Structure 1
Amino acid sequence: MISFLGTGVALVTPFKSDQSVDHKALAKIVNFNIENGTDYLVISGTTGESVTITKKEKKEIIDTIHKANGSRVPMVLGIGGNNTQEVIEEIQTTDLSYIDAILSVSPYYSKPTQEGIYQHFKAVAEISPLPVILYNVPGRTSSNMLPATTLRLANDFENIIAVKEAGNSVAQYLQLLKNKPEDFLIISGDDDLALSVVLAGGAGVISVIGQAFPKQFSKMIKLGLEGKAKEAYDIHFNLMDATSAIFEENNPAGIKGVLEALKLCKDTVRLPLVPASDVLKAKIKKIVKEMK
């Protein structure tokens, strides 16, 4: 079975000034990450601006990432939404030849009950030909998938292998870690809590800031998995300012500001998002300069 231990990164979708996808920059970011220790790649999540990407563009993005990656690291594809039937149809009609797992967000906007969330993922699990990673991000969905629901799904479906938990709740992480099935993975979706989660028994992280500083971030997580807390926290403290800065305004404007400062891509985003403010850009440039 494919391993999703360690550091995964939620890849941005770079755009040129004319708003078209910058495939050259995307390939550069992929290579930069793999060469510096990233363990797997996550495509078309929130950070990839999935809601403003067309189906055609999504296919082209997958192709570019696959070509840049080869078969060096696993690839996870985001397929989720609040229309269960549409999610099922996308899974059934997408070429998943190069994909190792699906990351599926808990339904947003509709604010389903816990039973509704369970039934949604039950329907997804029953048709998915690939392992499924649940994604709980209540700050964006306006609905928290409670640990009892996550664990019910983990126990009921063998192909639901993990949850990317991004509720920024230590108590919720600990409930999941305490009560999870032995082989079910708790993956942090909160960059600021990732090391603490790993030290408590988590499997790793799907990170935003990690794609800008993959060498440092992946080493931190590796040390955490080895139980080397002091060495890992030294890196965590060094990354704290950057991690905090990228979420000050919106994601992915912040991380794209960092990637622009690193000369990996432009900071262009698609409306309704706007680039980081001049104040935040100045702060990011200072942080990046000090980290080099």
Structure 2
Amino acid sequence: MQKFIGTGVALVTPFRDDLTVDVVALTKLVNFNIENGTNYLVINGTTGESGTITEDEKLLIIDVIVKANNKRVPLVLGVGGNNTLSVVNELKTRDLSEIDGILSVAPYYSKPTQEGFYQHYKAIAEATDKPIILYNVPGRTAKNMEPSTTIRLANDFSNIVAVKEAGNNQQQYNTLLKNKPANFLIISGDDDLALGVALAGGSGVISVIGQAFPREFSTMINHGLEGNNKEGYAIHFKMMDIIDYIFEENNPAGIKTVLQELDICSNNVRLPLVKASTALETKIKKFVENF
């Protein structure tokens, strides 16, 4: 699936001071990314605060991004949860005509067995003909989907085309890269490991920091895909501190602080998240000013 190779970004949902969705800022963010090299956009992921977004707001966000994008880059929609029947129902009933792929997070909180992961994604794969990107993020879901399960799903379902792997585990990336089917994509969900994964044979990244520095980050990933180690790491080293900063407290409070410094959107987040602390905001502001 060539459309999911390179740099995708997990878009934030900008909020006004009254915590309603800021349509103007969201449009600005989409245009900023497309004009600066982002290859595809991910809608309503955890970075978009999907857990606090209402159904009406989700429809609004999709509509705004579809219109702003105007078919320029592929769009991936986050559709996931720990109620398999609910996820299946959403896939069967939602209008996905403008959506190029589905990103579906591994079931959180429930801590299924590996067979549970398999059956969950089997049901999802059978519910839609859209390309599906698995999303393994054990730091948020409390259970790791093992490489053997991912590879089993990749071999058994033609519309399961990729995994966004975010276990922050280089050995797990290597196991996936070693054993994956030829056309299956290993996409980094860890900004700090993304270049190394690309250099090792991965297909790119779904990034958080990339939406704030799309030109630099996508250039770095392209170097990785082309095997340009030295050029890629020159950019990676420049961005190491800001990648650490945005995950220091919570996501997306950190990245929204960066985007506020770039005059793209406010740093407003919805509870239970809170804005970045003054100390973190100071570090981020200094980085942006000197970048």
TM-score scaled by length of structure 2: 0.99
Report the counterpart of residue 62 of structure 2 in structure 1.
Answer: 62
Displacement of 1:278 = 0.6
CA drift of 1:127 comes to 1.0
* 1:34 corresponds to 2:34: yes
- In structure 2, relative to structure 1, the CA distance for the partners of 1:134 and 1:229 (3 Å cut) is same
Aligned to 1:264: 264
Deviations 1:156-210 (A, max 9, x none): 0000000000000000000000000000000000000000000000000000000
Q: 1:288 maps to which residue?
A: 288
Can you list the C-alpha shifts for 1:95-137, whole angstroms capped at 9, x where unaligned? 1011000000000000000000000000000111201000000
Q: Does 1:109 align with 2:106?
A: no
In structure 1, the residue matched to 2:135 is: 135
How far apart in 2 are the matches of 1:110 and 1:142? 8
- CA distance in 2 between partners of 1:169 and 1:224 (Å): 18
Q: In 1, distance between residues paired with 2:17 and 2:47? A: 18
Partner of residue 81, structure 1: 81
Quick one: which amino acid aligns to residue 166 of structure 2? Answer: A
Map Cα deviations across residues 26-74 of structure 1 (whole Å, 9 max, x no partner): 0000000000000000000010000000011001100100111001000
1:277 aligns with 2:277: yes
In structure 2, what is the equivalent of residue 162 of structure 1? Answer: 162
Rounded to whole Å, the distance in 2 between the matches of 1:98 and 1:83 is 25
Q: How many residues align?
A: 291
Matches of 2:135 and 2:76, distance apart in 1? 12
Give runs of aligned pairs for residues 203-282 of structure 1, distance below 5 A: 203-282=203-282
Cα-to-partner distance string for 1:204-242 (whole Å, 9 max, x where unaligned) = 000000000000000000111111110010000011111
The 3-state SS of whatever aligns with 2:3 is coil
Given that residues 188 and 202 in structure 1 are in contact (C-alpha distance below 8 angstroms), is that contact kept between their aligned partners in structure 2? yes
Residue of structure 2 in register with 1:22 after alignment? 22
What is the 5 A alignment of 1:169-208?
169-208=169-208
Q: CA deviation at 1:2?
A: 5.2
Identity of aligned residues (%): 69
**CA-CA distance at 1:3 after TM superposition:** 1.6
Matched, 1:94 2:99: no
Measured in 2, the distance between the counterparts of 1:125 and 1:2 equals: 20
Secondary structure at the residue paired with 2:187?
strand
Return the alpha-carbon distance in structure 2 between the equivalents of residues 181 and 191 of structure 1: 24
Question: Counterpart amino acid of 2:53?
Answer: I
Q: Is the 8 A contact 1:80 1:87 kept in 2?
A: yes
Distance 2:267 2:12 in 1: 10
Partner of 1:118: 118
2: CA distance between counterparts of 1:93 and 1:148?
31
- Unpaired segments ≥5 residues, structure 2: none
Q: Quick check: 1:2–1:100 contact (8 Å CA) kept in 2?
A: no
Q: How far apart are residue 143 of structure 1 and its match?
A: 0.5
Give the corresponding residue for 1:13: 13
- Alpha-carbon distance in 2 for matches of 1:30, 1:240: 24
Q: CA separation in 2, counterparts of 1:280 and 1:42?
A: 26
Matching residue's letter, 1:30: V
SS state at 1:268 partner = coil
- Counterpart CA distance in 2 for 1:31 and 1:129 is 29
Distance 2:94 2:14 in 1: 22
Question: Matched residues in 2 for 1:96 and 1:276: separation?
Answer: 35
**SS of the counterpart of 1:283?**
helix
When normalised by structure 1's length, the TM-score is: 0.99
Amino acid at match of 2:25: A
Do the aligned residues in 2 keep the contact of 1:2 with 1:74 (CA within 8 Å)?
Answer: no
CA shift for structure 1 position 83: 0.2
Q: Distance in 2 between matches of 1:285 and 1:119?
A: 45
* Structure 1 runs (4+) greater than 3 angstroms displaced: none
What residue identity is the alignment partner of 1:41?
L
